[in-house]
């Protein structure tokens, strides 16, 4: 069951809410862990290294519902975030980042499922899109499990290596339509 009030979602194990200014250190720790990972090179970035900047970042995030904090319901431990940026009329994006200590436990699927449901059922979106590197198997598999369909494969680059050369990789576009979402949801899947 998912409950919602002013962009607060609750699942069996998680709370999904707006960031607060007090979350700055939690976000900093999460994204610095991300920057150390093998997958960061496939994402926009890098995130700022100056931890003081996160006070401004979380202050700005607390005024919007683009990036949502995910915490454990039982103890409010911050474990990651889900992004739901508005792209254009009827279309939202989806993004996610979870602390490695909480990988492979179903939390990303649970949080993303709740946000996808919210986007279609409460915001009336017609489509949600995302993209990931073909080599980012955890993200790729999560999007497939959420019901997204893969589309275009293209060579892209978001970052440069230490020599200043682009780090190129094969990116995969994903999308989920409201029609497919509601078909999948009506089957109880």
- Mean pLDDT for all residues in the chain: 92
3 state SS of 60: helix
Distance CA 154, CA 146 (A): 22
Query: Does the pTM exceed 0.85?
Result: yes
User: What are the two backbone dihedrals, phi and then psi, of residue 114, each rounded to the nearest 5 degrees?
Assistant: -65, -40
pLDDT band at 70; cut points 50, 70, 90: very high
pLDDT digits (tens, 9 = 90+) for 112-132: 999 999 999 999 999 999 999
Residue 5 has a pLDDT of 41
Tell me the average pLDDT across 91-99. 96
Hey, where are the domains in the chain?
3-186
| pLDDT at res. 60 | 92
How far apart are alpha carbons 185 and 130 in whole angstroms?
Answer: 20
Looking at residues 39-52, what average pLDDT do you find? 90
Predicted local distance difference test score (pLDDT) of residue 46: 85
Query: Residue 6's pLDDT is what?
Result: 55
Backbone phi and psi for residue 124, each to the nearest 5 degrees, phi listed first: 70, 30
Report, as an integer, the average pLDDT of 89-110. Answer: 95
CATH code linked to domain 3-186:
3.40.630.30
Query: Rounded to an integer, what distance in angstroms lies between the CA atom of residue 94 and that of residue 51?
Result: 25
pLDDT at 45: 83
> What integer pLDDT is reported at residue 98 of this predicted model?
96
């Amino acid at each position: 069951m998912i409950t919602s009030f002013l962009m607060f979602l609750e699942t069996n194990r998680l709370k999904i809410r707006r960031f607060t200014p007090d979350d700055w250190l939690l976000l900093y720790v999460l994204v610095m862990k991300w920057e150390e990972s093998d997958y960061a090179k496939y994402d926009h970035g890098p995130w700022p290294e100056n931890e003081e900047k996160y006070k401004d970042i979380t202050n700005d995030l607390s005024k919007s519902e683009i990036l949502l904090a995910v915490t454990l319901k039982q103890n409010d431990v911050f474990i990651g975030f889900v992004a739901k940026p508005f792209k254009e009329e009827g279309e939202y994006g989806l993004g996610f980042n979870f602390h490695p200590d909480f990988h492979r436990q179903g939390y990303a699927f649970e949080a993303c499922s709740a946000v996808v449901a919210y986007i279609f059922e409460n915001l009336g979106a017609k489509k949600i899109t995302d993209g990931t590197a073909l080599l980012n198997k955890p993200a790729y598999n999560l999007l497939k499990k959420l019901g997204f369909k893969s589309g275009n494969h293209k060579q892209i680059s978001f970052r440069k290596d230490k020599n200043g050369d682009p780090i190129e990789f094969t990116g995969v576009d994903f999308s989920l339509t409201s029609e497919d979402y509601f078909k999948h949801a009506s089957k109880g899947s």
